[in-house]
Amino acid sequence: MAQAVATPPTSSTENNPYEQMLRRLRPAAEILQLDEGTYRILATPAKELTVAVPVRMDDGSLQVFTGYRVQHSTTRGPAKGGIRYDLNVSLDEVKALAAWMTWKCAVVNVPFGGAKGGVICDPRTMSQGELERLTRRYTAGILDIIGPDRDIPAPDVNTNEQIMAWFMDTYSMHVRMPQPAVVTGKPIGLGGSRGRRTATGLGVWFVVREALRYRKMEGPVRVVVQGSGNVGGIGAEFLHRNGHKVVGMSDVFAAIHNPKGLDVPKVLEHLGRTRSLEGYPDAERIPHERLLELDCEVLIPAAVENQITSRNADRIKARVIVEGANGPTTAEADRILEQKGVFVVPDILANAGGVTVSYFEWVQDRMAYFWEEEEVNQRLERVMVRSFNDVVATAEKFSTSPRLGAYLLGVERVAYCLRMRGLYA
């Protein structure tokens, strides 16, 4: 099997995602003049849980997987964050992702804290039955710390609405009543929200549009999208639909390039039919690492962490980077991009469309009244545009980058709630 998106070489200090998160948090805390005790609370996960997940496989063997759930903060509300199934899941990765969820929810002013979970496994090699048994046992393992008012999981890497349906059913069986609000990203028939599947990609489009307006970049622009799933693929589709030229895309198997522009609907049709971008006829196959360095105005890394590093940042040609993935740019790369004048819309703003519509789903589940997709998308647009303007205004106020502006905005909102609530003795 082809390797998933290759991570470019990094220095030793760039390898740990949790350390990368802290390297963004510390400057924000210093500018906000937070005391050391408050910083330590913000830097430390509130709760970490590691569980053994024994699963009976189809061949009769018993495999024991390792699962994690980290709650970084519940200061602003119940914890919120996805669950990923991947061989590269680690505790440090989950801790970083949980913290990013805290800042992300605060940036878009959604009343949640941050959490994340994951199981170390390769779902591509597992049957539906094995995935169901894995999901139900993992759910049972973290049952005591989740719930509609405690911690609300959602889909993430290699998980989907079917996984969420099993998750919701398992939790509901344990508490002896239906609890659709325990997870988001569910099928619509089980309390899912219209517009949830496209939410992150649509949110990315809204942010790209606002960034182009802010930078006064008129007319159609060339865009490169790393990734082709619910973030990259859907984001590329909205960009194509609105007249922009998507010249490069990728999935875990292949990266493709056409300087005249890809026919994105045809690319996604090919991907849906063959489950790979390999063999797409109207584009050149290129190495994954070259994709990020293509000539373009806008680059959207929408795959995994640590894709733009100190080793390749100087070769990035894009004038605007919109981070569809979590943590795709290291702190070391940030400095290089800033020196080059690249406008980076950070992940804790750019991909917040997903958690925003997850919040809408949770609200709809709680009141048992569901909105039409048009209303969901209109509400999402208002949140993303307002949040972009808030981040830019904060960055201008402190004469800093959009990333640090987003951290200042999110961290200050969490720190304010922490001050107001005080400490429970």
Residue numbers annotated as active site: 116
Band (pLDDT 50/70/90 cuts) for residue 305 is confident
Q: Which residue did the predictor score with more confidence, 106 or 20?
A: 106
- Are 178 and 170 in contact by the 8 Å Cβ rule? The answer is no
Q: What is the pLDDT of residue 261?
A: 96
Which residue intervals of the chain bear CATH 3.40.50.10860? Answer: 45-190
Q: What is the pLDDT of residue 12?
A: 55
347/380 Cα distance (integer angstroms): 16
Which residue intervals of the chain bear CATH 3.40.50.720? Answer: 199-350
Computed from CA positions of residues 88, 92, 98, 104, in that sequence, does the dihedral angle turn out positive or negative? negative
225/229 Cα distance (integer angstroms): 10
Q: Which superfamily is assigned to 199-350 in CATH?
A: NAD(P)-binding Rossmann-like Domain (3.40.50.720)
pLDDT in tens, 21-45: 999 999 999 999 999 999 999 999 9
Question: Taking all residues of the chain, what is their mean pLDDT, rounded to a whole number?
Answer: 95
Domain 45-190, classified CATH 3.40.50.10190, yes or no: no
Paired tokens of 6: 């290759």
279/16 Cα distance (integer angstroms): 35
b/e sequence 97-119, b meaning 16+ C-beta within 10 Å: bbbbbbbbbbbbbbebbbbbbbb
Band (pLDDT 50/70/90 cuts) for residue 183 is very high
Segment 305-327 shows an average pLDDT of 95
Q: Which amino acid is at 372?
A: E
Give me the half-sphere count of Cα atoms (radius 13 Å) on the Cβ side of residue 295: 4
**pLDDT above 60: residue 2:** no
Segment 377-390 shows an average pLDDT of 99
Segment 346-358 shows an average pLDDT of 98
**pLDDT above 80: residue 425:** no
Q: Which residues pair with 53 in a beta bridge?
A: 65
Q: What is the pLDDT of residue 14?
A: 78
What percentage of the chain reaches a pLDDT higher than 70? 97
